[in-house]
Structure 1
Amino acid sequence: MATENLGDSSQLKLKSHRCLYCKAVGSKLCLDCEAYLCRDHLEAHNSVGQHTLTELITDMQTRKCATHQKLLKYNCCVDNVYVCEFCVVVGDHVGHNVEVISDKSVAVKSSLKELVDNLIAQCKEFENHIREAAATKDDIHKRADDLQRQVTMMITDLKQELEGEGEKILSEIRNQVQEEDLKIHRFLSKKKEEKLKLIAQVDEIRDFLNTTDPMTILEKGTPSINKTKMLIDEVQGRLEDTGLNVLLVTVHLESGLIKVIKRIPQLQKNHGFAVQNLIHIMLRNANDPTEGQASELGSLMDSSLNSKEKHCTSLTYSSTAISSGQHYWEVETSDLPSWSVGVSYSQNKDCNLGDNDDSWCMSYYKMGQYAVVNNGVKTSVSTSSPIEALGIYLDYEAGNLCFFQLANPIKHLHTEFATFTSPVYAAFSISKKGWINLR
Structure 2
Amino acid sequence: MWMESCVCVSCCLAGDHRGTQVELLESRRLRIIVQSLQENRREGQERAAGDTETVTALFRDIREQLEALEKRVLSEISRQEDEFSLTLTDLIQQLEIKKNELSRKIHHIEEMCSMADPLTVLQDQESDGAAICGAEGGDNEDRERDDMKVPGIRDVDLISETLLTGLAGIVTGVKGKIYGQEVTDMLLDINTAGNNVSISGDGKTVTFSDTDQHYPSSPGRFQYRQVLTTRSFPSGRHHWDVEGSESGIWGVGVSYPSIERRGDQSCIGDNNKSWCLYRRYNINISTVRHDSNDIDLPHVPSCNRIRISLDYEAGRLSFYELSDPIRHLHTFTAPFTEPLHGAFSVFYKGDWVRIIS
Provide the rounded CA distance (Å) in 2 between the counterparts of 1:234 and 1:206.
Answer: 25
CA–CA separation in structure 1 for the residues paired with 2:164 and 2:247: 37
Matched residue of 1:426: which SS? strand
Q: Aligned runs of 1:399-438 on 2, under 5 Å? A: 410-412=328-330, 423-428=339-344, 434=352, 436=354, 438=356
Residue 427 of structure 1: SS of its match in structure 2?
Answer: strand
Number of the residue aligned with 1:364: 279
Displacement of 1:163: 1.9
1:215 equivalent in structure 2? 123
Unpaired runs of 5+ residues, structure 2, are 1-10, 192-199, 208-212, 214-224, 270-275
Distance of 2:154 and 2:237 partners within structure 1: 51
- 1:95-244 correspondence to structure 2 within 5 Å: 112=14, 146-204=46-104, 211=113, 213-224=121-132, 232=144, 235-239=147-151, 242-244=154-156
**Shift, 1:238, TM fit:** 2.6
1:205-235: CA deviations, max 9, x gaps? Answer: 6556765632011132345567785993894
- Please give the per-residue CA displacement for 1:406-435, whole angstroms capped at 9, x wherever unaligned: 78874438x699997x64421345675655
CA separation of 1:111 and 1:327: change in aligned 2, threshold 3 A: farther
Deviation at 1:385, TM superposition (A): 0.4
8 Å Cα contact 1:283/1:316 also seen in 2: no
What is the distance in 1 between the residues matched to 2:334 and 2:76? Answer: 56
Task: Give 1:339 shift.
Answer: 3.1
**Paired residue secondary structure (1:238):** coil
Q: 1:185 to 1:315 in 2, by over 3 A?
A: farther
Report if aligned partners of 1:283, 1:317 keep a CA contact under 8 Å in 2: no
Counterpart Cα distance in 2 of 1:319 and 1:206: 88
Taking the aligned partners of 2:148 and 2:263, their CA distance within structure 1 comes to 74
- Structure 1: gaps spanning 5 or more residues: 1-108, 266-275, 289-296, 306-310, 347-351
After superposition, the CA RMSD in angstroms is: 5.6
User: Who is 1:282 aligned against?
Assistant: 185
User: Residue 397 and residue 239 in structure 1: after superposition, are their counterparts in 2 closer, same or farther (change >3 A)?
Assistant: closer
- Spell out, residue by residue over 1:11-68, the C-alpha distance to the aligned partner (whole angstroms, 9 max, x if none): xxxxxxxxxxxxxxxxxxxxxxxxxxxxxxxxxxxxxxxxxxxxxxxxxxxxxxxxxx
**Partners in 1 of 2:295 and 2:76 — Cα distance?**
59
User: Is the Cα–Cα contact under 8 Å of residues 189 and 229 in structure 2 kept in the other structure?
Assistant: no
Distance in 2 separating the partners of 1:254 and 1:260? 10
CA contact (8 A) 2:239 2:307 kept: yes
Deviation at 1:175, TM superposition (A): 0.8
Q: 1:247 aligns with which of 161, 166, 186?
A: 161
Distance in structure 1 (CA, Å) of the matches to 2:43 and 2:289: 34
Q: 1:386 aligns with which of 301, 306, 314?
A: 301
Q: TM-score, normalised by structure 2?
A: 0.55
In the alignment, residue 248 of structure 2 is paired with which amino acid? Answer: P
User: Given the superposition, is the C-alpha separation of residues 378 and 438 from structure 1 closer, same or farther in structure 2, using an over 3 Å criterion?
Assistant: farther
CA contact (8 A) 1:282 1:318 kept: no
The structure having more radius of gyration, on CA atoms, is 1
* 8 Å CA contact 2:226, 2:343 repeated in 1: yes
Is this contact kept in 2: 1:277–1:327, CA < 8 A? Answer: yes
Are the counterparts in 1 of residues 180 and 311 from structure 2 also a CA contact under 8 Å? no
Q: Judge conservation of contact 1:284–1:316 (CA < 8 Å) in 2.
A: no
Cα distance in 1, alignment partners of residues 44 and 289 from structure 2: 34
In the comparison of the two structures, how many residue pairs are matched?
Answer: 289
